[in-house]
């Protein structure tokens, strides 16, 4: 959603050799809480990279066996002072923040999630490549000076550099994120207009700010290749309003992989049915992915195109 979330100040400070010690102490407490669900805990982010300037916030990456079990353990994290912020923009992640006595960010992923490798490869690349580390330091200092009171613009400003490193550090996985950066919203608009609203103005941009309308951007490696728009309905139902893959990446199975992840994400939040209104060109794609005739039954009573076919899939 396109909104601004402001913090009091963005502070970037020189590297502190105490940061690894703070990480180790916090990681031990977290292991004691998560017990057998915890696979391992990594120190990530700028505070994990010697000689790099950073916001003085320790980032921990926790790999767990089961995110559903983590939900039952969240109360214990909250007793430690952590605020549960849900996915916080990245599908299949759980994010927690603590501000005192020292600020920590905790990123939790289930074992096998490619975001794990992405974080570790980025960290290790900057540890090993001084020139890129110095470029990143310069960028962070410039952004902190330019946006001292706006963490979102600070983060947006780092995005292209991070993708540049993703492209050369060996990362090969996928990412599925809620549209957040300016570049991601640009991809959203481009794919919507190119495939669905080429001849008239998109009448549904208002959904970009609605909590029940979810806009995912799908990455392969460091490239934005797809987009989907999901509307969340009452009674554990949802509608797939749009799914689109950039034409340069079609016929590679990416659309089916993306759709399967959307279904997995919806299932994780208790959605039981995913409904679609398909035009004739996309009908074979949905049938290939297990969709069959099912009444759309839009709870808002919106008109449907009589040429579309109503399809659906039970997720449970």
Residue reference for tokens 């540049």: 164
- Is residue 7 pLDDT above 60, yes or no? no
Q: Quick one: 238 and 301 in the same domain? A: yes
Examine the domain organization and report whether 178 and 152 are in the same domain: no
The answer, yes or no, to whether residue 94 has pLDDT greater than 80, is yes
Here the CATH number for the domain that contains residue 258 is: 3.40.630.30
32 within domain boundaries: yes
Task: Tell me the C-alpha distance between 133 and 143, whole Å.
Answer: 15
Query: What mean pLDDT comes out for the span 277-306?
Result: 94
Averaged pLDDT, 160-164: 96
Count, residues in the chain: 316
Closest CA to 219 of 114, 76, 83: 114
How many CB atoms neighbour CB 78 within 10 A? 13
8 falls in which pLDDT band (50, 70, 90)? low
Q: Closest Cα partner for 227 from 298, 282, 177, 266?
A: 177
Domain boundary among 142, 168, 194: 168
Residue 6 lies in a domain: no
Provide mean pLDDT across the span 141-147.
96
| pLDDT over 70 (residue 4) | no
How large is the average pLDDT for residues 43-59? 98
Q: Are 237 and 188 in contact (CB under 8 A)?
A: no
For residue 10, being part of any structural domain is answered with: no
Looking at the structure, do residues 58 and 181 belong to the same domain, yes or no? no
Residue 150 sits in the same domain as residue 178: no
Is 5 part of any domain? no
Identify whether residues 55 and 82 lie together within a single domain.
yes
When pLDDT is cut at 50, 70 and 90, the band that residue 302 belongs to is confident
Q: Please indicate, yes or no, if residue 7 is contained in any of the structural domains.
A: no
Strand order in the sheet with 223-233: 174-178, 213-220, 223-233, 237-245, 273-278, 309-314, 292-293
In a domain, residue 3? The reply is no
Distance, CA of 109 to CA of 129 (rounded, Å): 27
The separation between CA 180 and the C-alpha centre of its own chain, rounded to angstroms, equals 9
The reply to whether 91 and 212 lie within a common domain is no
**Using 50, 70 and 90 to split pLDDT, how confident is the model at 304?**
confident
- Torsions phi, psi of 184, nearest 5? -70, -40
Check whether 13 has a pLDDT greater than 50: yes
184 and 246 co-located in one domain: yes
Domain of residue 113 covers: 19-168
Q: Clarify whether residues 150 and 40 are in a common domain.
A: yes
What does the pLDDT read at residue 303?
81
Percent of the chain with pLDDT over 70: 97
């Amino acid at each position: 959603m396109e909104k601004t979330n402001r913090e009091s100040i963005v502070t970037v400070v020189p590297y502190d050799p105490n940061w690894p010690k703070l990480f180790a102490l916090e990681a031990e407490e977290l292991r004691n809480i998560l017990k057998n669900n915890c696979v391992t805990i990594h120190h990530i982010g700028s505070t994990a990279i010697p000689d790099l300037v950073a916001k003085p916030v320790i980032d921990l990456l926790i790999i767990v066996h089961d995110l559903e079990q983590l939900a039952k353990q969240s109360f214990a994290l909250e007793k430690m002072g952590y605020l549960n912020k849900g996915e916080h923009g990245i599908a299949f992640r759980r994010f927690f923040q603590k501000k005192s006595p020292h600020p920590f960010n905790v990123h939790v992923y289930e074992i096998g999630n490619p975001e794990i490798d992405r974080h570790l490869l980025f960290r290790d690349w900057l540890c090993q490549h001084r020139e890129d580390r110095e470029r990143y330091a310069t960028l962070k200092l410039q952004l902190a000076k330019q946006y001292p009171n706006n963490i979102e613009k600070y983060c947006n400003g780092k995005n292209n550099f991070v993708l540049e490193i993703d492209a050369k550090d060996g990362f090969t996985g996928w990412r599925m994120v809620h549209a957040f950066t300016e570049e991601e919203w640009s991809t959203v608009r481009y794919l919507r207009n190119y495939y669905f609203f080429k001849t008239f103005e998109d009448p549904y941009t208002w959904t970009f700010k609605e909590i029940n309308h979810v806009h995912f951007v799908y990455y392969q490696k460091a490239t934005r290749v797809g987009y989907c728009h999901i509307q969340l309905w009452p009674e554990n139902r949802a509608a797939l309003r749009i799914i689109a893959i950039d034409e340069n990446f079609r016929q590679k199975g990416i659309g089916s992989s993306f759709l399967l992840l959307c279904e997995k994400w919806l299932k994780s939040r208790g959605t039981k049915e995913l409904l679609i209104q398909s035009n004739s060109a996309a009908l074979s794609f949905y049938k290939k992915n297990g969709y069959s005739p099912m009444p759309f039954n839009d709870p808002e009573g919106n008109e449907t195109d009589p040429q579309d076919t109503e399809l659906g899939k039970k997720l449970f």
